[in-house]
Structure 1
Amino acid sequence: MGIFKENPFGHILFLKKWLIRILGIMSHQRYKGFNKLEVEGSEIIRALPDTNVLFVSNHQTYFADVVAMFHVFNASLSGRDDNIKNIGYIWHPKLNMYYVAAAETMKKSLLTKILAYAGSISIQRTWRSEGKDVNRQVKMSDISNIGTALNDGWVVTFPQGTTTPWKPLRKGTAHIIKRYKPVVVPVVIDGFRRSFDKKGLRVKKKGILQSMVIKEPLEIDYENESVESIIEKLEYAIEQHPSFLKVISEKELLAYEEENKKREWRS
């Protein structure tokens, strides 16, 4: 690799590699020391093509979720089976990995700008701006940038567009799927909301068992399935469909809370 070789967004790969290495080393203890990350599905990661893969996931913090995915995906590609032991995997990170994030979030500080350089596809939110509800048109350049990233590698997106659970998925994700026809891999995470603050930058509580389940790619009829059908399929896949709430009784909710308490572990 030439030292000044760039990706399609003009980011120097040598610099991006070192940023990922440094951020990976700095953040590893958040998932392997202060808290414990339980992983399922590493073999699915290793079976994926190198490009045109879209990961769809529920969302619990601004940054801790996607940083954990960078760890898990790179560890899986390096041969780790459902664990992120031995951080040596971060020395040769997958550089064509991206994640979708709100542009206004990624411009707020030096740290967020560094995180953006490490792999963000920054988009303008159509429904929210500076803490207020808005209603504006999708920027076609944002859609094109996601397509460019898919053509170059893997993209992580959080189709709810918010860290609040059970919110409806944004239809834009389905339009992207129909347009670019990526391999769609669902990811379900838990424990991050209890471990970190909302931004995912500060450890809020130690001794929490986090989990990440990588599921088999979805079967999608890109030409004939409707946007609504794809959205419903995604909602079930990332376990955010409204029916998950409707079938939970008060007794089951209490049991669920008890289970959450049991998820805490002691080193």
Structure 2
Amino acid sequence: MPLFKRNPFGHYLFIKKWLIRILGAISHGRYRKFNSLQIEGSDILRNLPDKKVLFISNHQTYFADVAAMFHVFNAALSGRDDSIKNIGYIWNPKLNIYFVAAGETMKSGILPKIFAYTGSVSIDRTWRAAGKDVKRQVKNSDISNIGKAIDDGWVVTFPQGTTTPFKPIRRGTAHIIKTYKPIVVPIVIDGFRRSFDKKGLNIKRKNVLQSMVIKEPLDIDYENDEIADIVTKIEYAIEQHPSFLKVLSPKEAEEYMKEEEELNEKRKFWSN
């Protein structure tokens, strides 16, 4: 790799590689030591092309979700089956991985700005700004930048645009899918909200069952599927359709919490 080679956004790849190595080494214990991330679907990742792939996922923290995906993606591409054991995979990471994030989040401090260099495609949210609800037009430059990232590699997006569960899917994701026609791979995560704070920087609780399930690519007719059809497919694929939302009675809630504690106890003895 030429020393001063850049990606389409002007970032030097050798700087990006070293940042991923350093941040990967720092964050690895969050998914292997304090909590053990359970993974399904690594074989699906190895069968994907190098470019034109869009990952859609539910969202639980600002940064821990994406960091875990960087680990899982690179571990899978290095031949590991549903495991991030032995961090050597991070030495030669895939450099054309990007993630869509709110611009104000990625500019909120030195650490987010460093994270942004590892692959952020920053956008201005049309519905939320500075903690308040807003209504503004989509910036064409934001859409084109997401398209640029898709054309160059793998892109992770959180189509609800929030860490709050069961919020509506933003139709913009469906428009991007119809426009750029990527392979769309759903990911369902769980446990991150319980183990990290909202930003995903601080460990809130140890020995929590974390999981990441990579599903088969969605079957999408880019020409004939309506936007609403694609939105519905996304809702079901990332398990955020209202039908997944179950209102628990007090007794059911108590049983659920008991099952969670039992799973966490079992998790202590699991190993990858």
User: If the length of structure 1 is used for normalisation, what is the TM-score?
Assistant: 0.97
Deviations 1:125-171 (A, max 9, x none): 00000000000000000000000000000000000000000101100
Written as runs of structure 1 = structure 2, the 5 A alignment for 1:88-237 is 88-237=88-237
Amino acid of the structure 1 residue aligned with 2:70: F
Distance 2:193 2:38 in 1: 15
2:137 alignment partner AA: Q
Structure 2 residue aligned with 1:240: 240
Residues 187-217 of structure 1: CA distance to partner in whole angstroms, max 9, x if unpaired?
Answer: 0000000000000000000111100000000
Runs of 5+ consecutive residues of structure 2 not aligned to the other structure: none
The letter of the residue matching 1:239 is E
Amino acid at match of 1:163: T
Instruction: Measure, in 2, the Cα distance between the counterparts of 1:259 and 1:49.
Output: 39
Structure 1 vs Structure 2: percent identity of aligned residues?
71
Separation in structure 1 between the aligned mates of residue 260 and residue 169 of structure 2, nearest angstrom: 25
Aligned to 2:268: 266
The count of residues paired between Structure 1 and Structure 2 equals 266
CA distance in structure 2 between the partners assigned to 1:259 and 1:172 by the alignment:
37
Distance in 1, Cα, partners of 2:17 & 2:206: 29
1-side partners of 2:146 and 2:166: how far apart? 25
2:17 is aligned to 17
Q: Distance in 1 between matches of 2:252 and 2:55?
A: 30
Match for residue 37 of structure 1?
37
What corresponds to 1:51 in structure 2?
A: 51
Across the aligned residues of Structure 1 and Structure 2, the Cα RMSD in angstroms comes to 1.1
1:83 is matched with which residue?
Answer: 83
Determine the C-alpha separation between the residues in 2 that align with 1:236 and 1:254. 27
Q: Distance in 1 between matches of 2:243 and 2:193?
A: 22
TM-score, length of structure 2 as denominator length: 0.96
Structure 1 residue ranges without an equivalent (≥5): none
Quick check: 1:72 aligned with 2:72?
yes
Query: Shift of the alpha carbon at 1:260?
Result: 2.2
Q: CA deviation at 1:257?
A: 2.9
Q: Secondary structure at the match of 1:68?
A: helix
Supply the distance in 2 between the matched residues of 1:57 and 1:201 (Cα, whole angstroms).
19
Quote the Cα distance in structure 1 between the aligned partners of 2:103 and 2:22. Answer: 23
The aligned amino acid for 1:88 is G
Q: Distance in 2 between matches of 1:261 and 1:171?
A: 37
SS in 2 for 1:28: helix
Secondary structure in structure 2 of the residue aligned to 1:99 = strand
